Amino acid sequence: MGNTSPYKILSVDDQRLNLILIEKSLSKEGYRTVSAENGPDALVMALKEKPDLILLDIEMPGESGFDVIKKLKDTPETNAIPVIFLTGDTGVASKLKGFDLGAVDYITKPFHPLEVLARVRLHLKLSIATNSLIATQANRLKQVTQAQAALLTTPGDKPDASFGIYYKALEEAGGDFYDILNISDTITGYFVADFSGHDITASFLTASLKALLVQNCTPVYTPAESMKMINDVLVAILPAGKYLTACYLHLNRATKKMIIINAGHPPVVCLPRGADPYLITTEGDVLGIFKDAQFGIQSRTVSKGDRFFIYSDGLVESAENKVTWVSGAASLLPACRQLAQVPYENAPTELIHHLFGNDFSAEDDIVVLCLEV
C-alpha cells in the first residue's frame, strides 16, 4: 500500500441531505470528507482539520457563507484554502460578492454529484499547481552557490520609468536593493528593499530577489499577489534570522492609479504637483519570516507631475543620535518641499545634499528612489 494521504474536503451546509450526498460522491472517489452544519462549526473544523478545499453553502441560519469566508480569509491558518460556494442564488451580484471575498468558484443548487466532483478536481489541481510553482522557484533559487551581484537598473536603462536614484552601500556586501519593472507598456513597478545585516549573504540574495521580482511581478498577478508569492519563496530560502523590509509601488500611467504595498518599510513621501509633501504610512509585515504575512496596501489616484520618494531606513535613522525611521521620516518633508523644481532625475542626490551636505559619513546603506508620474 502507498503512503499517500487522501485529499481532505470540508463541506458546510445546513441541509444534512446535501452533506450526505457530497460525502458519498467524494468518498467513493478516494477523498476524505468532513462536514459542518453551520458557520461556527465550519470555522472550528477548518482550523482543526486543515482541509485541502472547502465546499461552503451561502445561505445558512446565523452566520452566512459570506460571513464564514471572510473569517477564513482573515485567519492565517485558513486563508490559503480554496473555497467553492454552494448557492441557490443564480444572480450575478451574489456570485461577484463571493469572488470578491475570495471564493474560487461556485456550484448552483440543486447540484449534481458529478459536477461537484469535477469542480473539486479542477480546483485541487490549480491549488497543487500554485504550490508546485512556489516550491519550484524556491528550489531553483536554493541552487545559487556563488556570489552574484544584482544588476541595478539606471535611469538611462528605462527612461520611460521617469525615475532618479541615489545608491550608496556602506560595505561591499550592501543590504539595500532596488529594481524597476516594466510590467506592461503603461504599468511600471518600483521596488526598494533592505535586507537585515550587511554580511556577504545579503549581497548574494539580491540576485535571487531580482529573479523573483521578474518572475512574479506580471500582469497575471495583482501587486498583493506578487508580494505574497515572493514572500512564500523567501520564507523557504532565507537563512534563519534573515529577512527584508520592502516597499513596492505599482503605477498604471494609463489609469492614473497607484497601488502601494508596504512590508515593514519606512513610509513613502508623496510630493504632489503644486502642493506640500506628506507621508504615506502603511504598516505591514516584513518579507521572508511569516508564511501568512499581511502587507499594508493603499490604492490612490495620481496626477501627472506628482512625485513619490521611496528610500531605505539608512536615510532617516541614526544610531548615534538615537533616531529611528518612525520619528526620522518626518524630517524629510521640509527637504522634499525644496525639491519641487528640481528635475526628478536629480532629486535623490539633491535630497542627500539637503540632509547631509556634500561630504558625510553614512551609518548604513542608503537608497533613495524618486519617481514622477
Which whole number is the average pLDDT over 233-251? Answer: 91
Which whole number is the average pLDDT over 86-107? Answer: 88
Domain annotation for the chain: domains and CATH numbers: 8-141 (3.40.50.2300), 159-372 (3.60.40.10)
Taking alpha carbons only, the member of 282, 269, 273 closest to residue 332 is 269
Q: Cis bond leading into 110, ω under 30°?
A: yes
**pLDDT tier for residue 359 given thresholds of 50, 70 and 90:** confident
Q: What is the pLDDT of residue 2?
A: 46
Q: What is the pLDDT of residue 142?
A: 54
Of 9-18, 123-132, 281-290, 356-365, the one with minimum mean pLDDT is: 356-365
Taking alpha carbons only, the member of 373, 245, 259 closest to residue 317 is 245
**pLDDT tier for residue 204 given thresholds of 50, 70 and 90:** low
**pLDDT tier for residue 94 given thresholds of 50, 70 and 90:** confident
Give the ranges where the chain is alpha helix by DSSP (H): 16-27, 39-49, 65-74, 92-100, 113-142, 200-216, 223-237, 325-328, 332-337, 347-356
**145-163 pLDDT per residue, tens:** 334 334 578 899 899 999 9
Q: What is the pLDDT of residue 361?
A: 72
Q: Who wins on pLDDT, 132 or 23?
A: 23
Annotate 252-294 with three-state secondary structure: ECCCCEEEEEEECCCCEEEECCCCCCEEECCCCCCECCCCCCC
CA distance 272 to 258: 13
